[in-house]
Amino acid sequence: MDELEIDAVAEVELDDPVLVEGLPGVGHVGSLAVEHLLEELEGDSTLVRRVYSQEFPPQVSVEDGVAELTCAEIHAVSVPDGRDLLLLTGDHQAQTNDGHYVLTDAFLDIAEEFGAEEVYALGGVPTGELIDEYAVVGAVSDESLLEALEDAGVEFREDEPAGGIVGVSGLLLGLGQRRSFDAACLMGETSGYLVDPKSARAVLEVLEETLGFDLEYESLDERADEMEEVIGKIQEMEQQQQQQQMPTDDDLRYIG
């Protein structure tokens, strides 16, 4: 196998498409968001490309006993009354710095092939603590893109995210700008500790308003409820540990 191989699975005609990336990252926000898009728009989607690379981990996925080499996939989606989409998803990112560049260039090549000139990278930005209100933090490849996203509720904060944006999401902005793409990264705030469906929904709601389509969120909300139960149990355990560590009256007698 070559370092990079792209399988052309199908060819479709798209109307002013937008590339939307959702590979694994903090809180799995981006991957959850794109998986939900595929689930909701399944009837209008077509798998068009598979991208194989030696930069992915050396493993296969197994479903019903059948193995398939790790890859990234791009689905074309015709959206009624909205912009058509190219949805990029997969189970892994590259394992090396060079690999991130190689794969990002390949994804942008495919976007160009289908006539896309606009890119949205979806991901999470960690807060380090559990949160109730989910803001969406943004970054763009050009100042001209700020206003429309601000109108959609995206926050642009000085020096955030700290340390910049790494991986494919960051390179889609950097390399995209050099290749004349209009590129934006939408990052939902998330604790960073757990898979975060609520953060994914916050990002999707911005994307809905920006690109002009409508989604249902029942399945994503169900996953959020499941995570709330997990969070509740974690908080209970933390409280129990704190109580066990508190000094008793007997302990206090010996404190001078």
Q: CATH for 4-218, among 2.60.40.10, 3.40.50.300, 2.70.70.10, 3.40.50.10900? A: 3.40.50.10900
Reported in sequence order, the residue ranges of 182-254 that DSSP labels E, i.e. its strands, are 182-190
State the Cα–Cα distance between residues 108 and 176, nearest whole angstrom: 7
Residue 77's beta-bridge partner residues? 45, 85
Mention every residue, 6+ apart, whose C-beta is less than 8 A from residue 75: 38, 45, 46, 47, 48, 86, 87, 89
Q: Give first-to-last CA distance, the chain, whole Å.
A: 72
**Residue 255, pLDDT above cutoff 50:** no
State the Cα–Cα distance between residues 37 and 41, nearest whole angstrom: 6
State the Cα–Cα distance between residues 255 and 37, nearest whole angstrom: 59
The CB density around residue 96, as the number of other CB atoms within 10 Å, is 10
**Residue 54, pLDDT above cutoff 90:** yes
Global confidence as pTM: 0.89
CA 82 vs. chain centroid, Å, equals 21
Residues 148-177 pLDDT 10s: 999 999 999 988 888 899 999 999 999 999
For the chain, the average pLDDT equals: 91
What residue spans define the domains of the chain?
4-218
**pLDDT category of residue 250 using cuts at 50, 70 and 90:** low
DSSP secondary structure string for all residues of 38-68:
HHHTGGGEEEEEEEEETTS-S-EEEETTEEE
Residues 203-249 pLDDT 10s: 999 999 999 888 999 999 999 888 888 777 777 777 777 777 766 55
